[in-house]
Structures are given as C-alpha cells and as structure tokens.
Structure 1
Amino acid sequence: MALPSATASLNNSLKCWKYLGIWPDGKHKTMYRCYSSAYIFIVLILYNIQQTLSLYYAPRKIELMIKEITFFFNVLAITNCVFMILYRKKTIIKIFKALDSEQFQGTDIVTKNILMKDVAHYKMYWKGLVGLGNFAYTLNSVVPIIANLAITSYQLQLPTFNYYFLSDSIKKEYFGFLYAYEFFSIYGIMMYDVTTDSFINGMLFFSITQMKILNNKFRNLKTEINSKLSRDEQERIHVTKLKECLRHYDSILTYCSDVQSIINFIMFVKFGLGSLLICVLLCGLLLPQTMESIMFMLFYSMAMVLQIFVPCWLGTQLTYQSQELVFAAYNSDWIPRTEPFKRSVKVFMERAKTPVVIIGFKLFPLSLETFTSIMKTAYSFVTLVRNFQEEAET
C-alpha cells in the first residue's frame, strides 16, 4: 500500500486547474490551449470588464456599492492568483519535484509518520475549504432560485454585480441570460479561489513539515551507533548523517525560496485587497441594512479574515520551526565528536539563527503580528467612521 504523499494532496488542486483551464495535462495541447483561452476569457477577463463597468456606473450610494465593491476587489485578487500560477508554472513543477525527492520523502519510520500525519491534516483542510466554498456558492446563487420558485413574492436578484451600465429594460428582457452567465462564471471563480488558496497554503504547510522532519533528524544524531564498530567507523557514520541533514536543510531553503517567488506578489495583492474589504464590510455593518445584506457582510468578512489568518499562522509556524533547528542541533550528540564535526554544527547553528521568513512583496512578513496589525487597523478605521457618524447625527 502506497503511503500518502504531499504531492498527491497538492495534485487535488492541479486536477481542478485542468478543468479550469490553467493546468494542461500534456495531451491535446492545441485543443486545450483553445479551451483554456476561451474559458479564462469568459470566466475571468469578460467578467472583470463587465464588473468594472458595473461599478463605474453604479449609483453613488454606499449601501448599493458595498456588494459591488466586495466582489470587484475579491475577483481582482483571484485573477491575480490565476495569472501568477500560469506565469510560475515551471517553478511549481520544480516544487513538486522537490516534494517527491528522496530527501523530502524520508526513509525512516518517524519521518514517514510525520508525513502521513501532516498529509492527513492537509487533506482535511482541502476538503473543508472546498466544501465551504461550495456552501457559500449555493447560498449566494442556488438558494435564491429555489426561494423564487417556492415563494411567489420573492424577487430574484443577480448573484454578484448588477449591470448598472445596461438599461433596466435590457436587464429585464435578458435577466435569465445574465443570471445564467453569473451563475456559471462565479462557480469557476470560486473554484479558482479555493484551489489557489489551498495550494499556496499547502506549499507553506509542507515546508513546515520538512522543518519538523529536519528537527527530528538533528535530535537523532545522538542515536547510539553499533558498539562493535570502531571509533573511526562510528565517526564516519555520524559525519554522513550530519551531511544528510545539511543537504536536507539546503533543499528546504531552496524550496522556500521557490515558494517565496510564487506567492510574493500574490500575498501583497491578497493582503492589501483583503484588508480593504474587511474595512468596507465592517463599515457596511454600521449602516441600516436588510437582514440578507447583514448576513452577506458577516459571512464575507469572516471569510476575508480567515483568508488572511491562515497564511499568517503558517508563516509564523515556519519561522518557529526554522528557529528550533538551532536547539535541535545543540541537542545532538556533538560533544564527543571530532573537531570537523563540531565546526560543521557550529556553522549550521550560526546559519539557522537567521530564521526562514516568507515576505509579501518585500513589505511585510507572513506572521501573526502582521495579522494582528491588519485587524487593529481595520478596527481603528471602523471606530473612526463610527465617530464621524455620531458627530453627524448630533
């Protein structure tokens, strides 16, 4: 029975990308290129153009523009993710090769147990995220249709933007076609969102896994060697183990560098627009709204908070695990070893004192401190708006 692997888990996103037109499987390249171009144009490019026009022509009323602004900036962030995935395809393939390498797979039981446990956790996360995305899509697009069929007085609204650049007569005449287009497009956009998010977070998650494995390797350098062997032979075995650890560390740094190159600009856009949306949605809750609008803003604001929190938490864990390497190396059985062994451990410890930190566009680290700072800023902004409202009322 084959053991579950990190690449098999990440492949779930790639399988979805194949149908979403951004990850060819190597067969029927010409046909797939035509399908990919048509799908991306209809679902992303045309949708973005229409949504931009709708926002531009929308009435300048905050309560009407909140939903338009929310979907506009969210789709803009998703579009950025999609095109960065297309642009960084070679780097993604390189990352898959690293995860499939013998160094990352490991041969001992402890390493395989760590991998199996983390792969199981990631699979649960992937299923939960995809399930949550489909649930939100159902609430936004499917439930209104059912309500319209069941309740005659219920007025069906378009799922996302309202085509303010079209006249009311045209919207009324082609309402079914417009709803069908948004119904189809936002499902593809939703799947783009959850699959790219799960893939990015998966790359970060498995970098933490490799750090945990390396920590375990360094701590096991003190494992007793067969006493029947001579001291020189024992030293050679210890040196071989140390070299394996150092090569593994170098591979992890290369892997993290590749991950950084992929998510560098993605995180900048996602955090920037996500922070803006959190402020907009929280401010929207201060205005008189229908219960449906309140539920929409609450659900979407929680989704935005979660979207920012997860990579921040993973970035913090990665930094923490990389810092733990110093203590793991110190806990190895280095005292009775030879001077070359001790020097190598000292050099490694000096290098490991600089932790691995994932940066968003060279501006902010992915850390819980960044998340806390964003939430504090959003709260301060909402408090400021509330104070202006109270002054206007008085």
Structure 2
Amino acid sequence: MDLNVFKVPIGFLKFCGIWIPKDSSQIYKIYAYFMQILFLYIWSLMMGAAVFYQKNLIDLSSALTFFFTYFVCVIKCVNLIFKIDKFLLLIEDVKKAIKDYGLTEIYIEKHLSFGKKLFLAYWMPVVVTVGIGAIKPYIILKISYQMWFPYDPSIENSVFLFYLSATYQSVETLLYSTANVMIDTVSFIVMVYLVAMLEHLCDKLENLKRHKLINLDGSINKKKKIDNYKELLKCVNYQRTIEKLVRETERIFSKVIAVQGSFMAIILCPVIYALSIMTFPDDFMAMLTFFTYTMAMISQISIPCYYGAKISFAFDEISYSAFYSDWFYEDQKYRKDFKFVMQNATRQFKLTAFGLYKINLQTFGKVLNMAYSLYAVVKRVNK
C-alpha cells in the first residue's frame, strides 16, 4: 500500500487549506489559514447569525439545518488539521503491517469495490444538493442560503453585491462540501484496510491445520510443526497490531463521529418537518434540495456505522477461525501461546464514538429513530 490511494482526497484537502502537515511551507500555511478563515469560520458565524432573523418555519428549518451542517463540517476540518501528523503516522503503520504480514490486493479490492458503491450512494445526493445550491441563485436571482450579511445582498439593492454574495456561497459550498466528503473518504479507506486485515488474519489462523504437519507415512513433520508455531506467533502479533491500529483510528476520528451522530437527529428533524409542510409543485426545488440533503446526511452517518459493525464482526470471527485450526493436536507450548489469541478474541471489541456510543448499525437505527421522534414532537406542537 502507498499513499496513491489517498492522492485525490489529499490533493483536494490541500487545495482547501485543510491538509497541513508539519513540513508544509510558510507560504502554503498562510494560504491555508486564509482559506479557513474566509470559508470556514466567517461562513459559520454568518450562518449562525442568520438563524435569529428568520420569520417562518420553513426558513428557520433551512437556516438551522445548514448552520448545524457546516458547524459539523468545521469540527471535522479542525480535527483533521490538528491530527494530521497522527493520521500520517497511522497510514505508515498500516503500510508496515501490510508489508510485514503479507496482506494481498485480493482482500483489499474485495472490500474497496463494495465500499465504492456505498460512497457513490453518498456522493450522488451531495452532488445534487450542492449543485442546486450553487446554480440556483443565478437562475432565480435570489441567495440560496440564509446568511447574515453586513449589507442587503438582494439583486434589487445592488447587482454587484448580489453576484458577489452568490459567488461566495457557491464557491464555499462546492469546495467545503466536497472537503467534508473527502475527510469521510480518508477515514473510510483506513477502515477498509482494517477489515481486510482482519479477514486476512482469520484465514491465516484457519490455515493452521493438522494435515499440514503429517507426512505420507503418518509421522509428524518437525519442520512443518516449527513453521506452524512460528505462524501462530505471527498471528498473535498480527492480532495485536490490528487492535492497535483500530484504537488509533478510533482516537483520531471518534470525536468527529460523536459530534456528527449527536447533531444528526437535530439536523434531520427540521428537514423532515419542512418536507412535510411543503407542497408540490410550488416548492419543488426546495423539496428536491431537502430530500437529497436528507439522503446525503443518512449516507454520511451510515458508512462509519457500517464499517464499525464490520470491524466488530470481524474481531468476533477470529475466535471461530482460531478454534477450527486443529489446535488440539498441538503440544503444550503451542496451546499456551494459542490462549493469547483466544483470550483476546473472546473479548468484545467495539468501536466507540468518543466513549459516548458504539459505532454500529444499531446506533445508526437509534439516530434515525431519534430524528423521527423529534419530528413527531414538532409536528404535534405546530398542529
């Protein structure tokens, strides 16, 4: 494995001023800080201020939804900025593990091909939502997103100020919505490699079969017996290495997933409510935007939950693979070291989001259920 798999997301994150390793030049750092201030921090403050100026529920829902969305985006960007060097070390450790334990492309491609389909389902609604927001102001001559400006951005007031504001919104949403997806992409790629490693480890354990030790005359092949023991020790170290990599991944990304999951129900509730009170065809464009936005948000939280569940299930599989490896034919020395594998494998290994909740499909279901419950309350209050 090399960093080529990260080439596109890293290149885009550099362009947005988010990928700032310690060895970055001073010129690039100035550029990066300028991009962050202009398109992350000022933007979020302007969107937050706009919440207090809304006069109807649909506009308030829209303002709250997009403010919370970009607030989470800022958290994700800042987290990566501060942990970029730790992430690069994690990538180097993953590369070393792949080389040391012989992980082949067969395992990686198997999980990458399915992961690409998941991310395509994530990307498509993002592209539609952002695309509509970027081009809509030039068609209807009205600002796409509710924001506070120190001036009146309407085209009736000033054509120049309107197009300046519309262009600022279009550039920001195109750049940093994509950057948001790219941050999810780099964490997803690491998780894919971890799942592939776990599957590879299970196959290595299962291949420690007794028939490999028996010669044609029925005697024990001592050389193969020694090789089997060495392979077991290698599997023990492999298991420890994977656990270390998973925990390091959790330390880098779990806070972001915790924030993202915590805000998801709050973000989805006003969107679902707004959709429920819109009428077709009068509000078609707004309905399409909110619908694709909802699909993007659901996909965004479902992917880490899915791979969190995959990692937990893969750890559970280790004990089964190890048990069926004919360990009971081995000597006492082999069995003693074999206990390390079984003891570690029998522990429930769960990824958590900053210790607040488990990253799995059950949590994903709970987030959706919470969003619907909030929607039901808002719907009842505003009858």
Given the two structures, how large is their TM-score scaled by the length of structure 1? 0.87
CA distance in 2, matches of 1:316, 1:28: 36
Q: Distance in 1 between matches of 2:292 and 2:127?
A: 14
Which residue of structure 2 aligns with residue 265 of structure 1? Answer: 255
> Where in structure 2 are the equivalents of 1:160-199 lying within 5 Å?
160-163=145-148, 166-167=151-152, 172-173=157-158, 174-199=161-186
Tell me how far 1:318 sits from its aligned partner: 0.9
Residue in structure 2 matched with residue 346 of structure 1 by the alignment: 339
For residues 178-224 of structure 1, the C-alpha deviation after alignment (integer angstroms, 9 at most, x for no partner) is 11111111112112111011122222222111111111111111161
Whether 2:37 is the aligned partner of 1:41: answer yes
Q: 1:105·1:112 contact (CA, 8 Å) conserved in 2?
A: no
Q: Is the 8 A contact 1:130 1:195 kept in 2?
A: no
Kept in 2: contact 1:216–1:328 (CA 8 A): yes
Residues of 2 paired with 1:53 and 1:94: CA distance?
A: 39
Match of 2:291 in 1: 298
Give the 5 Å matches for 1:2-81: 5=1, 7-24=3-20, 29-56=25-52, 58-81=53-76
- Contact 2:153–2:165 (Cα < 8 Å) also in 1: no
Q: 1:342 to 1:169 in 2, by over 3 A?
A: closer
1:35-89 CA-to-partner distances (Å, cap 9, x unmatched) read 1111111111121122222223x22421111211111101010110111111111
Question: Structure 2: any 5+ residue segments left out of the alignment?
Answer: none
Partner of 1:286, secondary structure, is helix
1:132 Cα shift?
A: 4.9
- 8 Å contact from structure 2 (residues 269, 374) kept in 1: yes
Tell which deviates more after alignment, 124-133 or 327-336.
124-133
Q: Indicate how the Cα distance of structure 1 residues 352 and 169 shifts in structure 2: closer, same or farther if over 3 A, else same.
A: closer
Greater shift, 67-76 or 157-166, is seen at: 157-166
Counterpart Cα distance in 2 of 1:337 and 1:375: 50
Counterparts in 2 of 1:226 and 1:15: CA distance versus 1, 3 Å: farther
Aligned to 1:375: 368
CA contact (8 A) 2:137 2:143 kept: no
Cα pair 1:360 1:366 within 8 Å, conserved: yes
Looking at structure 2, the residues matched to 126 and 167 of structure 1 have their Cα atoms a distance apart, in angstroms, of 39
SS at 1:199 equivalent: helix
Amino acid at match of 1:54: A
- Give the 5 Å matches for 1:193-212: 193-212=180-199
Q: Tell me how far 1:355 sits from its aligned partner.
A: 2.8
With normalisation by structure 2, the TM-score equals: 0.89
Aligned residues: 375
2:245 alignment counterpart = 255
SS in 2 for 1:211: helix
| One-letter amino acid matched to 1:242 | L
Distance, in Å, in 2 between the alignment partners of 1:169 and 1:143 is 14
Q: CA deviation at 1:326?
A: 0.4
Name the Cα RMSD after superposition. Answer: 2.5
Task: Please list the CA deviations of residues 231-281 of structure 1 after superposition, one character each: whole Å capped at 9, or x if unmatched.
Answer: 432221111100111111111011011101111210111111112111121
Work out the CA distance in 1 between the residues paired with 2:239 and 2:365.
30
Q: Is the 8 A contact 2:122 2:299 kept in 1?
A: no
- CA displacement, residues 340-367 of structure 1 (integer Å, 9 cap, x when unaligned): 1112222321211113211112110011
Q: Does 1:274 align with 2:269?
A: no
1:312-327 aligned within 5 A:
312-327=305-320
Paired residues of 2:264 and 2:371 also in contact (CA < 8 A): no
- In the other structure, the counterpart of 2:87 is 92
Other-structure match for 1:151:
none
Deviates more, 1:231-240 or 1:205-214: 231-240
Q: Does structure 2 retain, via aligned residues, the 8 Å contact 1:163–1:171?
A: no
C-alpha change, 1:334 and 1:99, in structure 2 (3 Å) is same
Measured in 2, the distance between the counterparts of 1:116 and 1:38 equals 39
**Residues 133, 169 of structure 1: CA spacing in aligned structure 2 closer, same or farther, 3 A cutoff?**
closer
Q: Structure 1's 142 and 114: CA in aligned 2 closer, same or farther, altered over 3 A?
A: same
Letter in 1 for 2:58: E
> Superposed, which structure 2 residues align to 1:131-142 within 5 Å?
132-142=125-135
Residue 370 (structure 1) shift? 0.8
Between 1:115-124 and 1:282-291, the stretch displaced more is 115-124
Structure 1 residues 178 and 88: alpha-carbon distance in aligned structure 2, compared to 1, 3 A threshold: same
Tell me, in whole angstroms, the C-alpha distance in 2 between the residues paired with 1:236 and 1:162: 70
Q: 1:285: which partner in 2? A: 275
1:106 touches 1:112 (CA, 8 Å); kept in 2? no
User: What amino acid sits opposite 2:212 in the alignment?
Assistant: E
Q: Using the aligned pairs only, state the percent identity.
A: 16
